[in-house]
Amino acid sequence: MRRKLIATTMCRMAAESRRSQMLRGVLDLCLLAVVLDEPAYGYEMTRRLRERGLSTVGEGSIYPLLGRLEREGLVATHRAASDGGPPRKYYSASPSGRRALTEGVRAWRDVRSEVDSVLATIKAEVAG
Amino acid sequence: MNAYVEECRREWRRLGVPDLLAEEMATELEADLAEAEADGVAASEVLGESDPRRFAATWARERGLVSEPPPKKSRKGLWIGIAVGLVLLFIALPALALITLQSGSITTAKSQPPIQSLVLPNFVGLKACRAQRIALEAGLNVRKIRRPRCNAVVVAQRPARGTLIPYRQRKRTTLKLRLRG
């Protein structure tokens, strides 16, 4: 019984680790996607991701990633007053960020399609 | 969470992040954490990192506000070297010991003075076959003693006991035994 519990926990940890690794490669695209049409401040981006079904828990903070996007000029920033709160730093996709997003999404779809064609034959039974 | 942000501030100061930018990041973080708390969202979902110093350092580094930390000198190579050295030592030590022993035995053999001569023992009183065996082992020639006379006793020998026989001439020396019985 205990051995089974340990095995289940190990499997879950491995799955989370794999998810984390896979997300790490595309989380920047997701951030660009949620500020493509409308600027957002940091927490608002987290909220938009969650609303679209992506929880970033366990994937590390978005702030370092936002910092990198800012440094690379893929996002533009400005400060603006928020609703009743202190002025916030808003992020929006810059023209080069939009291009990077387009290319990144194309690459992601290609990879996803290739991986899907390999894994399509596997019948995965999801337990629990 | 204020403590977390304060720790970040300290880390940015320590890393030399310009005050204006450090304050901008701290304010941004404080406001976001306050809003998340109001939403009932765990701070861990916003921060993703429980160690404020590491969080602050990563953020500042990604923004390009501090230089990349120098790559740590990998100790992997050192450990591999030590391991290989130990293995070689374990292999080499017995081999060395073996060589030493072998060379020692060779040395010992070489150091022994060459046998110059044999002193003929006393065969009188021994049974014939036993006397013959001793003489043959010493490299002497002995007249063959037939089996029926094995139990005969040596009553005389020539050369006599105590005779010095040059070692190189031992094969040319024939031991004559007189038997009785």
Q: Does B23 touch chain A (CB under 8 A)?
A: no
Checking if the pLDDT of B76 tops 80, the result is no
Tell me the nearest-neighbour CA distance from B81 into chain A, angstroms: 32
| ipTM higher than threshold 0.85 | no
The residue in chain A having the minimum alpha-carbon distance to the alpha carbon of residue B54 is A64
- The confidence band for B157, taking pLDDT boundaries of 50, 70 and 90, is confident
Contact: A71, B63; criterion CB under 8 Å: yes
**The CATH number of the domain covering residues in A23-118:** 1.10.10.10
Q: Does B137 touch chain A (CB under 8 A)?
A: no
Q: List the domain boundaries for chain A.
A: 23-118
Domains and CATH numbers, chain B: 2-63 (no CATH), 117-180 (3.30.10)
* Structural contact between residues B178 and B156, judged by C-beta atoms closer than 8 angstroms: yes
Tell me the nearest-neighbour CA distance from B14 into chain A, angstroms: 18
Its pTM surpasses 0.90: no
| A57: its two tokens | 């828990």
Q: Does B120 touch chain A (CB under 8 A)?
A: no
**In this predicted model, what pLDDT tens digit does every residue of B89-140 receive, in sequence order?**
877 777 777 666 665 554 444 555 566 777 778 888 888 888 888 888 877 8
Tell me the nearest-neighbour CA distance from A114 into chain B, angstroms: 31
* DSSP calls for B70-121: PPPPPSHHHHHHHHHHHHHHHHHHHHHHHHHHHHHHHHHHHHSPPP-EEE--
SS3 call for A77? strand
SS3 call for B143? coil
Of A23-27, A70-74, B12-16, B98-102, the range with the lowest mean pLDDT is: B98-102
| B170: its two tokens | 């031992």
Contact: A43, B45; criterion CB under 8 Å: no
* Contact residues, chain B, for A60 at CB < 8 Å: 48-49
Sheet containing strand B153-158, edge to edge, reads B141-142, B174-180, B153-158
Residue A128 has a pLDDT of 47
* Contact residues, chain B, for A56 at CB < 8 Å: 45, 48
Tell me the nearest-neighbour CA distance from B53 into chain A, angstroms: 13
